[in-house]
Amino acid sequence: MLLDKEERRSNKIRTTLGKPHGVCDDIGRPSKAESGNARNGLRNKRQAGKEESMRIKALSDVVGAAVTGVDLSTPLDAKELSVLKRALTDHLVLCIRGQSLDARAFADASRLFGRPKSFLLRRDRIDGAPEVSIVSNRPPSLEGKLLVQAKYWHTDDSYLAAPATLTLLLAKTLPNDGGDTEFINCHAVLNALQDTLRQRLEGLRAVHKYRSRRNKSWVAIRSAEEEAETPPVVHPLIRTHPESGQKALYINPNRIDHIDGWGEPESDALLDELYEFAFQPQFQYRHRWQAGDLIVWDNRCTMHRANADYDLNQLRVMHRIMLEGEVPV
């Protein structure tokens, strides 16, 4: 018996609807199972690609590692983030290569590591992204006059009761040559101290000030509001990292005024001894910047300084973010 055109169409639809899962659940539309499998397959391929492309390579024997194959303008999954954080704990300083981020995207990316905070000096903040401050050899605080900032060894934010845990620094404009940043591993410094000197440090605390009598580098003038936010604070000379459990020498030659409870002569003598020991090249890594470098370092166990070994007529501009801190113990 011949079927008319309408019946043939109706039977075709019924036949299609009766096909097993994974084939079709409507005319030309994949089933939920098929769609789910396809999405999972695509996700797995992307994940495999990410894992294959991310590379972490030590930059020195003492501190620092380079990370490639990561784009911080796109979301990272939990595994990738775990790998990055583990690498930071192990190497203390990470250089994440090839990043192109505006100020807002930079602030968003920093949240992978913690909560960003607004920088103390209002004049250095970027409009629309107050978590990001400008570090330049034409600093906003000097209205564009020439100055190499942070060229003496220090750790960030120690003049606060809860100093920043991490700092992120993103290269925006680099000189043709030079302008490197150096880092010191303060775990290694403490571990290399003679036992008698290390024992002397146990229980000692140092007074940190925004403007210390011993500071070596230029520090910006604060507003009355900023002064009120930065009274002197006291921190231990040996602090314990909350994640690794390792101890580090916690010093800031640019902010420590004196050892708490000590007179200036004996305090200065001990601090000078510690600084001379800590500044030895064996504890250092010197980073030569490349366009797109984003460096993350741990202030709880490192020191750093900028170098002025370049043509200062050339502009050097960085964007910086510090993450909310914790009280050193």
Furthest-apart CA pair in the chain: how many Å? 114
Residue 111 annotated to the active site: no
Element spanning 9, H or E: helix 5-17
Strands (E), 42-180: 55-58, 65-68, 93-96, 116-117, 125-126, 129-136, 166-173
Quote the CA–CA distance of 116 and 103 in Å, as a whole number. 12
Residue 138 annotated to the active site: no
Among the options 255, 304, 316, 319, which is catalytic?
304
Count other C-beta atoms under 10 Å from residue 292's C-beta.
15
Among the options 287, 305, 316, 320, which is catalytic?
320
Quote the CA–CA distance of 233 and 274 in Å, as a whole number. 20
Burial of 29 (0-12, 13-18, 19+ CB in 10 A): exposed
Alpha carbon separation from 117 to 156, 261, 323 (Å, rounded): 13, 32, 6
Alpha carbon separation from 321 to 114, 156, 318 (Å, rounded): 11, 11, 10
Quote the CA–CA distance of 225 and 80 in Å, as a whole number. 41
Among the options 125, 154, 208, 214, which is catalytic?
154
Q: What is the DSSP letter of 29?
A: B
Residue 156 annotated to the active site: yes
Among the options 124, 125, 156, 157, which is catalytic?
156
Q: Which residue has the tokens 């290269």?
A: 171
Residue 195 annotated to the active site: no
Q: Which residues are known catalytic residues?
A: 154, 156, 304, 320
